[in-house]
Structure 1
Amino acid sequence: MVVLVTGSGGQLGQALQFIAPNYPDIHFVFCDSTILDITNLNNIKQLFQQFKPSFCINAAAYTAVDKAESEPERAHLINVVGPKNLAEVCKEFDIILLHISTDFVFDGTKDSPYTEDDFPNPTCVYGQTKLDGEKAIQETWQKHFIIRTSWVYSQFGNNFMKTMLRLASERDKLSVVNDQIGTPTYAVDLAEVLIRIIQSPFTHHPSPNTFGIYNFSNEGQSSWYDFAKKIFEYNNIKINLEPIPSISFPTQAKRPTYSVLDKRNIKKVFGVEVKYWEESLKKI
């Protein structure tokens, strides 16, 4: 079985490379943006013809949330045009597409976990482009899995955990917002779930209802302040950590205040066991 992975240089791409040796039956083809430009339809066709994948995991995305406010065209190109191109080529070659989306498709006004059926209402350019990318896939190719996730971190790439560790080495005091609530998701746990979906008998002999949108994050919830507190605790770092409201830390993009995801569907369909975020964080 051949699985082609786009965006191999990002967090999820590197997490998939990290676990790939555990799956000798899968031939992974890892492509960064220099090898596969998802905004280039011909580039995609050439690579798919060459490698003939059964599955494509789209881990490529424009994820600079604040920068997207001043670069909406570039965000649209990578988050909307790119997924549409992949869906078109996947349809042409009958390849199952797994695409990563985000909790930022929601406005954060709920006070209970978001389900796949809740109405999306993005509050920023990044969230809107990710939602538009979902729609482009849905309108193009039936055989897709769109996985919405949240607050992804890992030992790879740039993320909140690594930023906190870096800042703690430079400062004695840090202030972190405590009124945005979500769930930290370990990229390796997300990568394992994608392989679980690929290997599932439900994927190889699917009903029309098997494909579609699924939520996945780790279990539990926290604020960014809670997350930072655990990062320092598990790394035995003593630092003066101060909780602050979001209004004291203005950003270009408006974030959802609450974006915990309901994971019942992915558990039910694929038998996924979800670890609590603290458990995964402690292991890094």
Structure 2
Amino acid sequence: MVVLVTGSSGQLGQSLQFIAPNYPQIDFVFCDSKTLDITNLENCNQVFDQYKPNFCINAAAYTAVDKAESEFEKAFAINVTGVKNLAQVSKKHDTILLHISTDFVFDGSKTKPYIETDIPNPTGVYGQTKLDGEKVIQQIWEKHFIIRTSWVYSQFGNNFMKTMLRLASERDTISVVNDQIGTPTNAVDLAEILVKIILTDNRQPTTDNFGIYNFSHEGQCSWYDFAKKIFEINNISINLLPIPTTSFPTPAKRPAYSVLDKSKIKSIFGLEINNWEESLKTI
């Protein structure tokens, strides 16, 4: 079984490379933006013609939430045009497409966890381009799994956890917002879930399970709570101050509440999902 992974140099791509040796039955093909530029349809066709993948995990994305506000064309090229190209080529090759989306497709106005059928309403360019990417997949190719996730971190790439650890080595005091509520997701655990979906689906090729799924860890916290737990686990003593979002203005508006309900993915794929605090301890 051939599984093609785009965006292999990113956080999720590196996490998939980290776990790949545990799955000798899968022939992973890892492509970074140099070997596979998803915004180039001809390049996509060439790579798919060469490897003929059974599955494609699209881990390539424009994820700079604030920069997206001033780099709309770049965000659109990767998150919409690139995704459209992958959907078209996946359809041509009968390749099942697994695509990563985000809690930022929602506006954060709810006070209980979002389910897959809730109406998206992005508040910024990043969320809008990710939603548009979801839509082009749904329009072009029915054999897809769209996984919405949130607050992704790991030992790889750039993320909140690594930023906090770096800042703690440079400062005595750190201020973190405490009125945005969501759930951290360990990218290695997300990678494991994607492989589980592939292995389950490969046994059931006539599956009716295609569609949108939520995945993050269980529980919820604020960014302040997340930072506090990071420092606690790493035995770092620092003066951590909770602040409101209004004290830390950013170009892009964040959802105030973006906890995702995981009932569907747990039911369909028989998953047990760790609490976010437990998963944080594994890094």
Question: Which TM-score band (shorter chain)?
Answer: over 0.9
| Gapped regions of structure 1 (runs ≥ 5) | none
Structure 2 match to 1:80 = 80
Structure 2 match to 1:239 = 238
Alpha carbons 1:124, 1:254 under 8 Å: kept: yes
- Across the aligned residues of Structure 1 and Structure 2, the Cα RMSD in angstroms comes to 0.8
Structure 2 match to 1:272 = 271
Write out per-residue CA displacement over residues 126-161 of structure 1, whole angstroms, 9 at most, x where no aligned residue.
000000000000000000000000000000000000
Structure 1 match to 2:195 = 195
Structure 2 match to 1:174 = 174
Displacement of 1:206 in angstroms is 3.2
Structure 1 match to 2:32 = 32
Mapped partners of 1:21, 1:110: distance in 2: 40
Structure 2 match to 1:228 = 227
Any residues of structure 2 matched to 1:29-68 within 5 Å, and which?
Answer: 29-68=29-68
Mapped partners of 1:43, 1:191: distance in 2: 25
Give the SS at the match of 1:36: coil
Mapped partners of 1:203, 1:118: distance in 2: 30
Corresponding position: 1:218 with 2:217: yes
Corresponding position: 1:249 with 2:271: no
Structure 1 match to 2:131 = 131
Write out per-residue CA displacement over residues 60-85 of structure 1, whole angstroms, 9 at most, x where no aligned residue.
00000000000001100000001110
The change in CA–CA distance for 1:201 and 1:95 in structure 2 (over 3 A counts) is: closer
Corresponding position: 1:122 with 2:122: yes
2:133 partner amino acid:
G
Mapped partners of 1:83, 1:276: distance in 2: 31
Alpha carbons 1:101, 1:149 under 8 Å: kept: yes
Displacement of 1:207 in angstroms is 3.6
Structure 1 match to 2:6 = 6
Write out per-residue CA displacement over residues 206-243 of structure 1, whole angstroms, 9 at most, x where no aligned residue.
343x1000000011000000000000000000000000
Structure 2 match to 1:104 = 104
Mapped partners of 2:202, 2:16: distance in 1: 21
Alpha carbons 1:197, 1:203 under 8 Å: kept: no
Give the SS at the match of 2:116: coil
Moved over 3 A (4+): 201-204
Give the SS at the match of 1:200: helix
Alpha carbons 2:201, 2:207 under 8 Å: kept: no
Displacement of 1:204 in angstroms is 3.3
Displacement of 1:202 in angstroms is 7.1
Mapped partners of 2:277, 2:24: distance in 1: 30
Mapped partners of 1:217, 1:259: distance in 2: 11
Structure 2 match to 1:70 = 70
The change in CA–CA distance for 1:222 and 1:203 in structure 2 (over 3 A counts) is: farther
Give the SS at the match of 1:253: coil
Displacement of 1:93 in angstroms is 0.5
Paired residue total? 283
Give the SS at the match of 1:3: strand
Displacement of 1:201 in angstroms is 4.4
- State the TM-score, normalized to the length of structure 1: 0.98
